[in-house]
Structure 1
Amino acid sequence: MSSRNTLDLAEIRFLHRQLASLLVYQSVLADEVGSSFLQLLQALYHSDGGEASALVCLQAYGNWFKNLAAINVSWQDYLINQIIVADNPFSQQAQIEKFASLPPALIAAAEHDLQALHSLYKCSSYQMSRWVQTMCNLSVTPVFWNQEPQESTHHELLIRTRLQQGNWADAVKDLASYYRQCGVGIFAKYFAFRWQAGQLVGIAYPDQVKPTDLFGYESQKAALVKNTEFLIAGYPALNVLLYGSRGSGKSSLVKGILNKYSDRHLRLIEVAKSHLQDLPTIVEQLRGLPQKFIIFVDDLSFEEDDDAFKSLKVVLEGNITARPQNVVVYATSNRRHLIREFFEDRPRPSDADEVNSWDTVQEKLSFSDRFGLTLTFEPADQNTYLNIIRHLAQQAHIQISQEDLAYRALQWATRHNGRSGRTARQFIDFLNAELKMPDSSV
């Protein structure tokens, strides 16, 4: 073996040992990209220059290349991303404790691991490609994956810059500060979630609606914004019921609030009515985390014999366990009284089934009052509807006369779902596509 090959093998052996020595950051290489990198490193380490080992190296390199291309980031950006969202004993404690309070052994372990991972960071995709060329005796260097740095939030950019400036072990304090501000694991990676099969599932592509996209209901919008800012600032915030006519933008407003404040560590968890019994469990998982959470329940209502409201009642009012100050419930409904009530439910003098039957009625009627803030969304009149249409048409850069726009919008509302923000959005989307569609007769 040539001296160059001997030198390459020594560098590969060094990286192998660095990875094997990780103490708390093992999860950094636990996904497909990390696993394929480890397989490639092992294939290079065991390569003997023969045809069989060359094929193993080439296949391992192709698999690693494919996995990097699938996430469309460079190897260096991938490593930093994994460190930023790392969920391990160091990051978990750093997000809730001041750096000075962390166990010295845990800090030392993090410093050791960051030093080891820095060695991987300095091993570029080009370097790996060159090693494959050498070990497999190729005449040309295999194509190597490279990608421009991805966009980052302000806090991510700061920690990226810090890591790129020098020895990663020296950045352990800054990294701990980042975890304390931004959280770790799934809450650092996503800002929208749904509760599914007993666990939180991150939503990679949440609805990008913004509060400025919604026209009308300005007082309701301002109240929800103010309440959310209380939550973000760490002050007591109220649970909110948004109720009113269908299609008025209640759900879109909640999603818009998330998009407005996601860079200030606001998170939203969508919980279906069928999973309301899990609410106490969800809330306890969020207690003590640095992020602020909106538990979002859409289209809320209960049948007469539905006991799911009891779980929501516990979260709204609390029990012997104090309600965490970083969690609020935002619920939407088309009903002011969330539990259906029938005239036959009301007690008559002849009733003998329940002594205090009026108490049962009052419990049903007053359930919505347990939300600290109730925002009412009245049905849109014709003038409001047309104002929404004009607002959306301006955003979509639709170029038709105001008279024609109003006429077609009113015709659409008559033939479809009536006057509402949802109907207006559907009309504008249809009109925009219709105007941009090439004439099929041409």
Structure 2
Amino acid sequence: MTSTEKPMSFAADPRSTEALERIAAALEKLVPAPPAPIDLDAADAFVFSASAPHLQPVRQVNRVDMALLRGIDRLRDILTDNTERFAKGLPANNALLWGARGMGKSSLVKAAHASVNGRLTPANGFRPLKLIEIHREDIDSLPALMALVRETPYRFVVFCDDLSFDAADTNYKSLKAVLEGGIEGRPPNVLFYATSNRRHILSRDMVENERGTAINPGEAVEEKVSLSDRFGLWLGFHACSQADYLAMVFGYADHFGLAKDREAIEREALEWAITRGARSGRTAWQYIQDLAGRLGKVIG
């Protein structure tokens, strides 16, 4: 540029101004919107969305009445007592409900939550206990969930159904840090309940792989299985007897007004279980749905 030339003025060029405005608008779109405020009074149950992060209220929880859960009386009492103590601000333990499929593990968690909220009324100055479900694939977002609820006046049971980890999965380390061992750890207003078909949550292949590849197999396996040690309560669910299975069937049948021909129901329910290779609460409920459908009755 010579001494007689003038510097180019972008402000005087409308095309440059428009281009800058378009760039600024595009950059603004890249900035994530602030999360919507959480209305914890909207419901007593929520599903955690890790992408936002956000709590989605669930106004109608898919649950079974506590009275219909048969064959798990001792486990029911232990979990309900633990949940009630926590709701009252007393010490309570994280709980791992493990064992046979279809025996009411997740149903018991949801029923215990409803039972405690039903007994502890606002008249006694009680704030409803909140239930938050977190999906297994979002476990590594637990710290974000803890940050959402840490400073609120409510108490929360964070619930993960069918929790398990496979060989290439390292999210279990995030869970260990949240339950115990991290700098912040679990907030005092949060309790963690999980269900799993596995007692130690981790797959057998995952543990055996550590035995075969680690320099010190014993220490490596201990590090893996120590996750379940973070749960103060281990509640084991086992396959039910024929008597317990029939008690479940007739409990549902009586509740929904289906138990008119008890001999036929017993015969059909046992055949139903044999064809599915299992006796469980889930099998009993599936038979009851079939029976109600054949009788033209709506249940739910």
1:356 deviates by 2.5
* Aligned counterparts of 2:247 and 2:217: Cα–Cα separation in 1: 48
Question: What's the secondary structure of 1:188's corresponding residue?
Answer: coil
1:322 deviates by 4.9
Question: Contact (CA 8 Å) 2:83, 2:113: kept in 1 or not?
Answer: no
Q: Which residue of 2 aligns with 1:240?
A: 95
1:193 deviates by 0.8
Question: Contact (CA 8 Å) 2:63, 2:107: kept in 1 or not?
Answer: no
Flag structure 1 segments of 5+ consecutive residues without an equivalent.
1-86, 88-184, 438-442
Matched, 1:253 2:118: no
1:3-14 to structure 2, matched below 5 A, reads none
Q: 1:436 to 1:275 in 2, by over 3 A?
A: same
Q: Which residue of 2 aligns with 1:268?
A: 131
Q: 1:288 aligns with which of 133, 151, 160?
A: 151
Q: 1:425 to 1:347 in 2, by over 3 A?
A: closer
Q: Which residue of 2 aligns with 1:389?
A: 249
Matched, 1:188 2:41: yes
1:306 deviates by 0.7
* Aligned counterparts of 1:298 and 1:292: Cα–Cα separation in 2: 19
* Aligned counterparts of 2:292 and 2:60: Cα–Cα separation in 1: 23
Question: Contact (CA 8 Å) 2:177, 2:185: kept in 1 or not?
Answer: no
* Aligned counterparts of 1:421 and 1:336: Cα–Cα separation in 2: 20
Task: Give deviations 1:243-263, integer Å, cap 9, x for gaps.
Answer: 011100101111112222335
Question: Contact (CA 8 Å) 2:71, 2:240: kept in 1 or not?
Answer: no
Question: What's the secondary structure of 2:116's corresponding residue?
Answer: helix
Matched, 1:422 2:295: no
1:9-408 to structure 2, matched below 5 A, reads 186-196=39-49, 197=51, 198-262=53-117, 264=120, 265-342=128-205, 344-345=208-209, 347=211, 354-408=214-268
Identical residues among aligned pairs (%) = 38
Flag structure 2 segments of 5+ consecutive residues without an equivalent.
1-36, 121-127
* Aligned counterparts of 2:287 and 2:214: Cα–Cα separation in 1: 52
Q: Which amino acid aligns with 2:39?
A: I
Q: 1:318 to 1:199 in 2, by over 3 A?
A: farther
* Aligned counterparts of 1:219 and 1:204: Cα–Cα separation in 2: 29
* Aligned counterparts of 1:363 and 1:373: Cα–Cα separation in 2: 19
1:416 deviates by 2.8
Q: Which residue of 1 aligns with 2:25?
A: none
Q: 1:387 to 1:319 in 2, by over 3 A?
A: same
Q: TM-score, normalised by structure 2?
A: 0.78
Q: TM-score, normalised by structure 1?
A: 0.54
Question: Contact (CA 8 Å) 1:210, 1:255: kept in 2 or not?
Answer: no
Q: Which amino acid aligns with 2:227?
A: F
Give the number of the structure whose alpha-carbon radius of gyration is greater: 1
Question: Contact (CA 8 Å) 1:315, 1:323: kept in 2 or not?
Answer: yes
Q: Tell me how large the CA RMSD over aligned residues is.
A: 1.9
Q: Which residue of 1 aligns with 2:18?
A: none
Q: 1:347 to 1:253 in 2, by over 3 A?
A: closer
Q: Which residue of 2 aligns with 1:167?
A: none
Task: Give deviations 1:318-340, integer Å, cap 9, x for gaps.
Answer: 42225322111110001112112
Q: 1:356 to 1:204 in 2, by over 3 A?
A: same
Larger RCO of the pair (alpha carbons < 8 Å, separation 6+):
2
Q: Which has the higher helix share?
A: 1
Question: What's the secondary structure of 2:288's corresponding residue?
Answer: helix
Question: Contact (CA 8 Å) 2:246, 2:269: kept in 1 or not?
Answer: yes
Question: Contact (CA 8 Å) 1:304, 1:341: kept in 2 or not?
Answer: no
Q: Which amino acid aligns with 2:154?
A: Q
1:288 deviates by 3.1
* Aligned counterparts of 1:374 and 1:323: Cα–Cα separation in 2: 19
**Consecutive aligned runs of 4 or more in structure 1 exceeding 6 Å deviation:** none
